[in-house]
Structure 1
Amino acid sequence: MGKRSSKILIISLLILLFSGGLLFWNYQSFQTGFRENQAYLLGKLIEESSLSEEQVIRIVNQETDEAQIETGQLLSEKYGLLNKETTQQNLIQKYTIKNLLITITTVFLLIVFFIFHLKRLRKEQILVDNQLTEQTEAITLTQLQLQKKSKEDDDIKSSITEIAHQLKTPISSLKLSMEIALSENYSVDERQDFKKQAEIQINKLDLMLDGLVKISQLEADLISLSPQQYSLEKLLEKVVNGLIMSAIEKKIEIEVIQTEAIDIFVDIKWTREALGNILENAIKYSPTDSKIRIRCSSLVNYALIEIIDQGPGIAKEELSLIYQRFYRGQQTVETEIEGSGVGLFLARKIIEEQHGALLVKNQNPQGSNFQITLPLIK
């Protein structure tokens, strides 16, 4: 900043010195011309008048007199000198015009210089502002990355704690069931019951671990979704066929309502996994001898799939919680419905990874309506 101020001062001084030099040169030219004209007039007066040299010099040097000035003006009017430019007037006009031009040029140069300097300062300021913006963005990005890493670390710690907590109960139950099943202190029927209980816990652990593996693969980007054009009707057929036996066991009817052919743009395997988790959830919570409707329709850019059951519905305060990993509602715990608490979490993650959405609404008078949107073929 100091160097820049010094340059401005030096250039301004150079312009002023140059202008001052021109003014001084003009003044010297005027003085020379004026002296030459004065000498010419003196020589002419002495040559053509009867006055002596001393008289002429005395007249030139004497102070002005009002009477003489008036006489001179009358003579100027008489001979028309007032309307003519004399040599002295020409000298004065040239001197004045040159001074004016030098002054205007100096002011113009200074204005141009300062305008140029201001533009340069503005460009430099813009450059500095851009650099500050880039640095601010870089700092913000770094902070966001640090926050993201911190959150990821917290999520990992939280996940480990959640997994340990979720595995503790079935493992403890499995351990107890196996001890009783292998003990000779109980009857054969009691041992058989605990053997079945152990199998249930093993299946539960298997289901939970399978869900955890899939979630970890998705979160770590170990699985890349490969969307492709596929018939929604065929996809739903595969989903229903994979769970039809569970529905038959509870005498639940599954009705698919689709009035038009709809092609979607999704990863077939993982979308089937997501829809299967939602339908399986509906079967678990639906009462015996009930119906589950799967209703399909097309929107502008998305296909809408609604899975509507006749179960007890979801408590209002739990509507935003059911998608959390390992979350199991109060009703699930009270009715002892089996589950790992990862199905809806995994389903929502798969759907959202494909730019879709998953939400749930309660039906009137009872039941739940899970609404899924998936992108249509482009």
Structure 2
Amino acid sequence: MIIQWINRKIGRQLMASFYIVLTTLMISSLVVYTYTDTKLQETRLKLEDIRERSARAGALWEEWQDLQFNMRGYALIGDQDIYQKMINQRKTIDEQTRWFEENAIYQQGKDYSRSSRELYAYYFEAILPLIQSYVEAKSSGTVTESFLEGKTLTSLPLGKELLANGQIKLDASGNIDVLSEINKSELALGGYRDFLEDWSEKTSRQLEQEIQTTQLIWLSNIIVLVGVLIFFVYPFIRKITAELLSLVKNSQRLAGGEDIKHVKVSGRKDEIGILALSFNQMASSISDNKQHLLAKNEELQAQQEELQAQQEELQAQQQELEEALELTMRNEQHLQYRNDLTETLAAREALTAYPEIIEKLIAITDSEIGALVFVDEGSAYSIVTHGMTEELSERLLGSDLSLLKRAESLKKAVHSSKQVASDHPLPYPYYMYETAVPIFDPASEEAIAFIYLVRYRDQFTNEQMRDIMSFSRQLSLSLLRMRLFDEMNREKTKTERILDSIREAVIYIEPGKDEVFVNRPLYDLFPELQYGAAKNETLQGCLNTIRAVVDEPEIFARYMEGILRGEVPKDSLQFSIHQQVVFIQFYVETIEVEGIRKGTMLVLRDVTKETEMDRLKSELVSTVSHELRTPLSSIYGFTELMLNRKMDLSKQDKYLKTIHSETERLSNLVNDFLDVQRMEARIQSYQKGLLNLQPLLEETTQFYAASTTNHTITFRSLTDACPLIEADEEKMKQLMNNLLNNAVKYSPFGGNIEVVLEADHHHVQFAVRDEGIGIPKSALAKLFDKFYRVDNSDSRKIGGTGLGLAICKEIVEGHDGEITVESVEKQGSTFTVKLPQSVQEYMVVPDGLDVSEK
């Protein structure tokens, strides 16, 4: 049934022949591949086994060499660590020897493992115990020699016993014979290694032979394939050709007036058989008609000329109709191809779709291979091919003598024909007909692409060339359209990136449209917009999401209503979101093109930092006013008393001390402001030198301990050797004063204050611990910010400018250090300063010695 089904169509017969050849090739290739892979795997495993055996043999011999060295060292110095190392080596040597005993395949491996085992027994059952006995005798004083003498070993009780049992032997000089065993093992190792090398060479040669065998099999495979083509495919094609030629000759004979009774086509049931059957029926019908006419000839002799004229006229009309039908069908097919190409060009928006177009063009022109070559910027080329090899593509683009270069220089279509003596794609010499047609930009008349087509049978007809030229003009418009489309996409992408790169959030809307365009900062400002991305693509959905997080939605809604009515507010709107966590400035810009309003851009700017800075500045003004007013009021009051009243010297002295204290307080306050200003301007300078922190900490601690009666202030050092640091001594004093002053100030009810100094290999650090009011966790993140003060009742009672800790942080970071804080509210705080050591070595500093340098 299958054979009958195949014989009904010539195409099926051709495909069946193709599949037979393909199946033969695949089966033979699979057999060759399986055979080659199996042999390569076997050879690889053999070579890996040889390498492993050689590596293990070398490692075992190195262990023996190391053991001899350790045994000599143990005999000389009697170190138990060396003895323990020899015991460990004994285990390693035993495992390696056992591996050779268990995995020995050939006699050389067995000889080597036996030799190694004998050497193992000789060393570890005789020599090592004897050396151990010698070391023990040496340790007990029985043996007093500095260097090991062979006769001394044989004089020991164990040596005599081993000699008597034959476990050790003596050489000609009376010493224990060790070299003979070692030489024996070394000789076995050399033989084993030579065997492994010979085995490896033999395996390599075997691999080469297998590769040669595989090559011969591949050659046989190719010969078989050629044989199938010659003895099966070629006769099949030749048979079809012969039968078609037979039909052609009989048709010519029939047209010449000969009688054709029957055309034999070997019982075929395919198209040729059907054609032969139709031909036979037609020939039979013509013959019958001819006989009938001859029989009637005598009766119709008078009408013969008239009938003959009518017959000639009918034949002429039939021929005209056939020619018209053929022309109509050809035009219809031509129009269909052109419509397909036109639709393909209109439906594509990228150059990646052009393989389909070149494929259709090859089909229209009956070409074998072809390509579309595009001229990129800088006279570079990109190519879309169909059926072309990579070598042919490179030659077409790279050769200065190629048809493409000629078409480019002449700026017109060029043709070429040449005979090719090659086995690809045809197994015999053939003619190659090429044509290259440039595609021009109508505006600049410059070539923007080329159509390259190749045929192997005959040249391109004039009609085909007209089709190619017509298509080149359509392709020119398509390329220009796609370039414009790509340029628009690039401009769109550039605009999106520009909007995403600015810091302000943007919403772009157009009149009468509900769609919006937003940038990335808007999602950063309102993360809620990302959760409902689908509904937030509309203007109403976006505004509803934003309004839901605004603290005053009514004001925001009124502002937006005016914008949506087409009004452009002159003033911006400032509002907060998330319960005044973020503050936003909202303003509007219109987009006009040639005086016509095309859209509106809503800009939302995050002004949280500016708002917070304004609030801090307001608090600073209030705080500074209070802090400056207090000492100035005291100075002014006491000065006025001294000027307007007469008083004794004791009161004058008391008032002057108060004025001096308040003046000093005022000076420190002004210095703090100046320090902050210098640090913000990055002009703060440090006079660094080698400095020992311990005396400074002790001095500062003693000063504050003497100035308070409610607190117990102590200093404790956890290091005896005080490392030096590179630091500005005055700034370090300011740092310590600020920290201790805060510890005293924020411990209003007294308590213990401890200063602890410690050091490691790279840093020196000190910590100030108090038992004061502590710091809330929510305030720790902003504690070192300028002008920041903890907002609770206890802190407000104490007062301050909020600059002390900011100055501390700037000083520490100016010395490449780090300051941290740990605090529990109502229990106290710990401030830790960590500074890098100087490159100097540790320096032991006696108590009371100041080694600081300016």
Scaled to the shorter chain, the TM-score interval is 0.5 to 0.7
Give the deviation of 1:361 after TM superposition.
1.4
CA distance 1:375–1:245, shift in 2 (3 Å): closer
Give the deviation of 1:277 after TM superposition.
1.8
Residue of 294, 299, 306 corresponding to 2:756 = 294
After superposition, residues 130-149 of structure 1 pair within 5 angstroms as 130-134=497-501
Which residue number corresponds to residue 344 of structure 1? 805
The count of corresponding residues between Structure 1 and Structure 2 is 299
Which amino acid in structure 2 is aligned with residue 257 of structure 1?
L
Q: Contact conserved, 1:253 with 1:289, CA < 8 A, in 2?
A: no
Which amino acid in structure 1 is aligned with residue 678 of structure 2?
Q
CA distance 1:259–1:104, shift in 2 (3 Å): farther
Instruction: Specify the SS of the correspondent of 1:179.
Output: helix
Q: Contact conserved, 2:766 with 2:834, CA < 8 A, in 1?
A: yes
Which residue number corresponds to residue 240 of structure 1? 697
Tell me whether 1:359 sits opposite 2:821 in the alignment: yes
Q: Contact conserved, 2:743 with 2:772, CA < 8 A, in 1?
A: no
Structure 2 CA distance, aligned partners of 1:259 and 1:144? 57
Q: Contact conserved, 2:724 with 2:837, CA < 8 A, in 1?
A: yes
Structure 2 CA distance, aligned partners of 1:160 and 1:122? 54
Q: Contact conserved, 1:258 with 1:297, CA < 8 A, in 2?
A: yes
Instruction: Specify the SS of the correspondent of 1:254.
Output: strand
Which residue number corresponds to residue 3 of structure 1? none
Instruction: Specify the SS of the correspondent of 2:307.
Output: coil
Which amino acid in structure 2 is aligned with residue 249 of structure 1?
A
Q: Contact conserved, 1:166 with 1:326, CA < 8 A, in 2?
A: no
Q: Contact conserved, 2:788 with 2:802, CA < 8 A, in 1?
A: yes
Give the deviation of 1:116 after TM superposition.
5.1
Q: Contact conserved, 1:264 with 1:377, CA < 8 A, in 2?
A: yes
Larger displacement relative to structure 2 (102-111 or 254-263)? 254-263
Which amino acid in structure 2 is aligned with residue 107 of structure 1?
E
Superposition TM-score, scaled by structure 1 size: 0.56
Structure 1 CA distance, aligned partners of 2:486 and 2:775? 66
Which amino acid in structure 1 is aligned with residue 660 of structure 2?
E
CA distance 1:149–1:288, shift in 2 (3 Å): closer
Q: Contact conserved, 2:726 with 2:837, CA < 8 A, in 1?
A: yes
Higher-RCO chain (CA-CA 8 Å, sequence separation at least 6): 1
Structure 2 CA distance, aligned partners of 1:263 and 1:53? 132
Which residue number corresponds to residue 112 of structure 2? none
Instruction: Specify the SS of the correspondent of 1:307.
Output: strand
Q: Contact conserved, 2:672 with 2:803, CA < 8 A, in 1?
A: yes
Which amino acid in structure 1 is aligned with residue 640 of structure 2?
E
Instruction: Specify the SS of the correspondent of 1:51.
Output: helix
Which residue number corresponds to residue 677 of structure 2? 216
Q: Contact conserved, 1:252 with 1:283, CA < 8 A, in 2?
A: no
Residue of 323, 330, 335 corresponding to 1:99 = 335
Instruction: Specify the SS of the correspondent of 1:171.
Output: helix
After superposition, residues 126-275 of structure 1 pair within 5 angstroms as 126-134=493-501, 155-156=616-617, 158-223=619-684, 234=691, 236-237=693-694, 239-240=696-697, 243-247=700-704, 249=706, 252-258=713-719, 270=731, 273-275=734-736
- Runs of 5+ unmatched residues, structure 1: 1-47, 62-71, 73-85
Deviations 1:299-358 (A, max 9, x none): 9x987643224x444365996597664959977898x9x987643342234446768443
Q: Contact conserved, 1:180 with 1:191, CA < 8 A, in 2?
A: no
Structure 2 CA distance, aligned partners of 1:103 and 1:347? 82
Instruction: Specify the SS of the correspondent of 2:831.
Output: strand
Superposition TM-score, scaled by structure 2 size: 0.28
Which residue number corresponds to residue 121 of structure 1? 488
Q: Contact conserved, 1:351 with 1:358, CA < 8 A, in 2?
A: no
Which residue number corresponds to residue 51 of structure 1? 307
Which amino acid in structure 2 is aligned with residue 255 of structure 1?
R
Structure 1 CA distance, aligned partners of 2:738 and 2:759? 20
Structure 2 CA distance, aligned partners of 1:371 and 1:193? 39
Q: Contact conserved, 1:257 with 1:296, CA < 8 A, in 2?
A: yes
CA distance 1:150–1:313, shift in 2 (3 Å): closer
Structure 1 CA distance, aligned partners of 2:767 and 2:751? 20
Structure 2 CA distance, aligned partners of 1:266 and 1:116? 66
Structure 2 CA distance, aligned partners of 1:210 and 1:239? 21
Residue of 314, 326, 330 corresponding to 2:774 = 314
Deviations 1:200-256 (A, max 9, x none): 211211221222211222223332679x9x98xx45336415515404525743113
Q: Contact conserved, 2:692 with 2:724, CA < 8 A, in 1?
A: no
Residue of 728, 738, 742 corresponding to 1:277 = 738
Which residue number corresponds to residue 108 of structure 1? 344
Q: Contact conserved, 2:787 with 2:801, CA < 8 A, in 1?
A: no
